[in-house]
């Protein structure tokens, strides 16, 4: 594998290359295989996926070299410089909304396990959607749902991963950040990472449909950044302090507040770790 920052490590995304790598993984064994749409520049891969969701097959992946309006949870801007990161959105069709609890956490597990396979140590998942390394943001996850004409849900799973951010671009990021190339001796090509990510998601999603998040809870626990930490829960303009106790089988964050365990759901709160270091 090429060294971080070399032309091969940051080579342009190429669908033929990605598909060739998928064939090496055993793409034919997947129940639903991914297909790819690549843009040089786009407003947002999630936005593009939502626009086309009604006419697109499950497993379709939107990729871009650059986003002009990348976004994270709660509409926060996601800095998206050209050819420096992965901007990835996969569409999947589900039968019921009720079975989707914890899906964003399961997607996070897939991303974190991929990073570990690449040699990135100290990967952590901060509930509900942040991918961290050494307390700095390495990536993020944004899930958005759209109902089909038959009343069943389609979900777009957006994943952004910092691969090798140019210093000038990185100065515009307003929070502690890091990238893959800062944590590995040899950085895989983005084509390799995309192929691995798409394959892993297409393996995970049928399992999630069958058993929900409970089947992934133990794997989440391995990466849980907040468990055992004092946290501030921010909701409806007020704040509460509590102790994070991990997650429930439905993906809810469990927090002890005034000696009572509360279940916190992603649509209701933001969580900020309070660490002494």
Topology match between the domains 15-222 and 226-273: no
Q: How far apart are CA 101 and CA 47, in angstroms?
A: 22
The H or E element that residue 261 is part of is strand 260-264
pLDDT band at 84 (very low <50, low <70, confident <90, very high): confident
The per-residue b/e assignment along 89-113, b for 16 or more CB within 10 angstroms, e otherwise, is bbbbbbeeeebbbbbbbbbbbbbbb
Burial class (CB in 10 A: 0-12, 13-18, 19+), 83: middle
Q: What is the pLDDT of residue 22?
A: 95
Q: What is the pLDDT of residue 239?
A: 79
Q: pLDDT tens, 184-195?
A: 998 999 999 999
Q: How far apart are CA 141 and CA 160, in angstroms?
A: 7
Specify whether domain 226-273 bears CATH 2.30.30.100.
Answer: yes
Domain layout of the chain by residue ranges: 15-222, 226-273
Q: What is the pLDDT of residue 177?
A: 85
| Peptide bond between residue 27 and the one before it cis (omega within 30 degrees of 0) | no
Q: How far apart are CA 168 and CA 275, in angstroms?
A: 29
3-state class (DSSP) for residue 6: coil
pLDDT band at 109 (very low <50, low <70, confident <90, very high): very high
Residue tagged active-site, from 40, 76, 152, 272:
272
CB atoms within 10 A of CB 1: 15
Q: Is 219 a catalytic residue?
A: no
The answer to whether 274 and 232 are in contact (CB under 8 A) is: yes
Q: How far apart are CA 142 and CA 211, in angstroms?
A: 22
Q: What is the pLDDT of residue 267?
A: 47
The stretch 102-124 carries a mean pLDDT of 96
Query: If you write DSSP's letter for every residue of 173-185 in order, what string do you get?
Result: --S-B--GGGT-S
pLDDT at 82 over 80: no
Angle between helices 190-211 and 15-25 (to 10 degrees): 50
Q: What is the pLDDT of residue 97?
A: 94
Q: pLDDT tens, 54-70?
A: 999 999 999 999 888 66
In this structure, of 82-86, 112-116, 132-136, 246-250, the range with the lowest mean pLDDT score is: 82-86
Residue that the structure tokens 């086309």 belong to: 52
CB atoms within 10 A of CB 119: 14
For the chain, the straight-line distance linking the first and the last C-alpha, in angstroms and rounded, comes to 35
pLDDT at 197 over 80: yes
pLDDT at 166 over 80: no
pLDDT band at 277 (very low <50, low <70, confident <90, very high): very low
The stretch 166-190 carries a mean pLDDT of 80
Q: pLDDT tens, 201-244?
A: 999 999 999 999 999 999 999 999 999 998 988 766 777 889 99
**How many residues are given for the chain?**
277
Residue tagged active-site, from 73, 126, 190, 217:
73
The fraction of the chain above a pLDDT of 90, given in percent, is: 70
Q: What is the pLDDT of residue 232?
A: 87
Q: What is the pLDDT of residue 6?
A: 43
Q: Is 73 a catalytic residue?
A: yes
The fraction of the chain above a pLDDT of 70, given in percent, is: 84
Residue tagged active-site, from 21, 71, 126, 137:
137
15-222 CATH pick, 3.30.1050.10, 3.40.50.2000, 3.30.930.10, 3.40.50.300: 3.30.930.10
Q: Is 21 a catalytic residue?
A: no
């Amino acid at each position: 594998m090429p060294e971080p920052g070399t032309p091969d490590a940051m080579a342009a995304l190429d669908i033929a290359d990605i598909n060739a790598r998928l064939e090496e993984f055993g793409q034919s064994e997947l129940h639903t295989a991914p297909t790819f749409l690549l843009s040089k520049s786009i407003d947002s891969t999630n936005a593009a996926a939502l626009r086309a969701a009604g006419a697109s097959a499950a497993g379709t992946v939107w990729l871009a070299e650059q986003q002009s309006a990348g976004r994270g949870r709660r509409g926060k801007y996601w800095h998206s410089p050209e050819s420096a990161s992965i901007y990835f959105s996969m569409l999947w069709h589900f039968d019921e909304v009720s079975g989707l609890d914890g899906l964003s956490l399961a997607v996070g597990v897939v991303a974190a396990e991929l990073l570990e396979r690449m040699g990135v140590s100290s990967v952590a998942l901060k509930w509900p959607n942040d991918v961290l390394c050494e307390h700095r943001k390495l990536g993020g996850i944004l899930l958005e749902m759209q109902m089909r004409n038959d009343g069943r849900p389609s979900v777009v799973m957006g994943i952004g991963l910092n691969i090798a951010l140019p210093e000038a671009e990185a100065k515009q990021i307003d929070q502690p950040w890091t990238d893959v190339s800062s944590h590995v001796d040899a950085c895989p090509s983005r084509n390799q990472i995309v192929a691995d990510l798409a394959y892993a998601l297409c393996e995970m999603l049928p399992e999630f449909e069958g058993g929900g998040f409970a089947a992934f809870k133990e794997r989440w626990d391995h990466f849980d950044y907040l468990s055992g930490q004092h946290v501030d829960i921010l909701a409806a303009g007020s704040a509460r302090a509590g102790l994070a106790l991990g997650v429930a089988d439905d993906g809810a964050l469990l927090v002890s507040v005034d000696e009572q365990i509360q279940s916190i759901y992603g649509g209701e709160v933001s969580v900020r770790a309070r660490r002494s270091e």
